[in-house]
Amino acid sequence: MGRVQGKVAFITGAARGQGRSHAVRLAEEGADIIAVDICEDVATVPYGGATEADLAETAKQVEALDRRIVARKADVRDLAALTAVAAEGVAVRRHRHRLRQRGNRQLRTRPGPGRGDLAERR
């Protein structure tokens, strides 16, 4: 039995990189996964964003471990979207769960006059 057997992990930035590695590792440890990613470029991030194909690959890798996954395109800045995805994932399980959030990009608003843009937290 894995360390998170019977739990649900909520992973942001799950389409590739750290997000994918966390999703796969937690699935190896017995968790079912709720995976979200924006799956598009963000203007203030200096590298290309993940794609829906990347998110589908994460789902494929988790399913290969015989774990359940709900993988959806969603922006972490959109609370309503995250709430809907979480509710969908929990409905699949229908029993006690634990949500863990881990993202490969943490975005914040820079303070200051006229600075409403998003920046990658370093």
* pLDDT tens, residue by residue, 64-85: 999 999 999 999 999 999 999 9
DSSP 95-113: S--------S--EEEPPST
Strand order in the sheet with 8-12: 8-12, 32-37, 69-73
* pLDDT tens, residue by residue, 15-62: 999 999 999 999 999 999 999 999 999 999 999 999 999 999 999 999
Fold type of domain 8-120: Rossmann fold (3.40.50)
